[in-house]
Amino acid sequence: MGHAVNKIIKDVIVKSKTMAGFDAPYVPGWDCHGLPIEKKIEDKVGRVGDKVDANAFRKLCREYAAEQIDIQRKDFKRLGVLGDWDHPYLTMNYKTEAGIVRALGNIALGGHMHKGTKPVHWCTDCGSALAEAEVEYEDKKSVSLYVRFDVVDKADLLQRFAGAEASDVPVSVVIWTTTAWTLPANQAVAFNAELEYVLLEANGERFVLAEALYELVMQHAGIEDYKVLARATGQQLEGMQLQHPFLDRQVPTILGEHVNVDAGTGAVHTAPGHGQEDFLVGKQYGLPAENPVDGDGLFLKSTEFFAGESVHKVVGHVLEVLDERGRLLSSTKITHSYPHCWRHKTPLIFRATPQWFVSMDQKGLREQALKSIKEVKWIPEW
């Protein structure tokens, strides 16, 4: 019905303009590429590399697309849609594909392309990135956990929290996350410069938490007896060094406007390789967008503790590693809205992948485009 309404409305406009004496040819066209076609063929013959090679798979995709084009073309003709049905444009025509490659080649030769990384929604069943339109949100049960990041230099911390007395007890910044599998890729902990934070003492240790959230965190941790020792702004807490909860590396404290007190602790675990906001703030601080997860959702062999494990099943092991090292403050199960693949209904992950970018400023492409706008005849007028 949607196709019918769309085509009929467009056909009315084309026919009316043609009858009014305008040259208004309609050349129908089809987008022949994309994961929906690949998914249809995958359901029939399996994934590439299992029972069929890439060349044979692409041939089957092309044949399937041609079949669907013929079906739609017959339907549109039956609706009486006026068009050049014998000469449609198809994105899978070799001439069209060659034109795309040629244009991309010119862009590359002009020095406008550069390689980088960017986190994207990734389906481990598709083995591919997904566009926003391909993402569906469904309720998902996840383990939420509060994790200690020990402060390396306690004397430095005390200078930031004016009025706090020195002590030999452990001090940690507490983060909250619902994606335990991203902790191996942690590169920093982020505060909000405008928020107020407290240094409090409980059960023979000290914690740094947002003032608006510390009571809730203590409640989740089952701690009833605690005392606020001092206060500081997020701005004052930038630049400290924290110990990663289970890897042999230190991570910095940074500032980010995305940090809020809607939930959590006011201190955000930051993995630039596994989140858009993390990636952007990490870029400001020159942090690596480390991605220890392959396209199938398995940790790389080089990943300490979790090599070869699936990100969808590793949470129990992460909790075990944290608990063994005394870094797990508390954990609980929650139900929340989470992105899923529209085809497989699989929970998605954010994963940094190598990508090519066209820079608008690297070689003056922006200026060229703005200049060209004035030289093009626009209908309607620009």
Residues 164-173: pLDDT tens digits? 888 889 999 9
Phi, then psi, of 76 in degrees rounded to 5: -65, -35
For residues 113 and 356, is the Cβ–Cβ distance under 8 A?
yes
Q: What is the CA radius of gyration of the chain?
A: 28
Residue 67 within any structural domain of the chain = yes
Residues 322 and 193 in one domain: yes
Place of tokens 């940690």: 172
For residues 144 and 334, is the Cβ–Cβ distance under 8 A?
yes
Residues 56 and 172 in one domain: no
For residues 158 and 247, is the Cβ–Cβ distance under 8 A?
no
Tell me the pLDDT tens digit for each residue of 205-225.
999 999 999 999 999 999 999
Closest CA to 229 of 175, 174, 172, 166: 166
In angstroms, the CA 239 to CA 287 distance is 13
Residue 366 within any structural domain of the chain = no
Residue 122 within any structural domain of the chain = no
For residues 333 and 339, is the Cβ–Cβ distance under 8 A?
no
DSSP characters for 107-173? Answer: HHHTT-EEEEEEEEEEETTTTEE--GGGEEEEEEEEEEEEEEEEES-HHHHHHHSTTPPP-SS-EEE
Residues 215 and 70 in one domain: no
Residues 184 and 310 in one domain: yes
Structurally, how many domains does the chain consist of?
2
Residue 298 within any structural domain of the chain = yes
pLDDT of the chain, 382 residues: tens digit per residue: 787 888 889 999 999 999 999 999 999 999 998 878 988 998 899 888 888 999 999 999 999 999 999 999 999 999 999 999 999 999 999 999 999 999 999 999 999 999 989 999 999 998 889 988 889 999 999 999 999 999 999 999 999 998 888 888 999 999 999 999 999 999 999 999 999 999 999 999 999 999 999 999 999 999 999 999 999 999 999 999 999 999 999 999 999 999 999 999 999 999 999 999 999 999 999 999 999 999 999 999 999 999 999 999 999 999 999 999 999 999 999 999 999 998 889 999 999 999 999 999 999 999 999 999 999 999 888 6
CATH number reported for the structural domain that contains residue 153 in this entry: 3.90.740.10
- Given 92, 122, 145, which residue is the final one in a domain? 92
What range defines the domain where residue 16 resides? Answer: 2-92
End-to-end CA distance of the chain: 34
Residues 67 and 137 in one domain: no
Residues 197 and 303 in one domain: yes
For residues 223 and 148, is the Cβ–Cβ distance under 8 A?
no
For residues 145 and 180, is the Cβ–Cβ distance under 8 A?
yes
| DSSP category for residue 121 | E
Residue 115 within any structural domain of the chain = no
Residue 127 within any structural domain of the chain = no
User: In sequence order, what are the beta bridge partners of 210?
Assistant: 197
In angstroms, the CA 59 to CA 95 distance is 17
Task: Estimate the share of the chain in helix, then strand, then coil, as percent rounded to the nearest 5.
Answer: 35, 30, 40
Phi, then psi, of 251 in degrees rounded to 5: -130, 150
Residues 72 and 136 in one domain: no
Residues 53 and 155 in one domain: no
What distances in angstroms separate CA 380 from CA 23, 26, 302, 315, 373, one per listed residue? 16, 18, 57, 56, 13
Residues 168 and 308 in one domain: yes
Residue 317 within any structural domain of the chain = yes
In angstroms, the CA 158 to CA 132 distance is 45
Residues 71 and 198 in one domain: no
Residues 170 and 264 in one domain: yes
Residue 111 within any structural domain of the chain = no
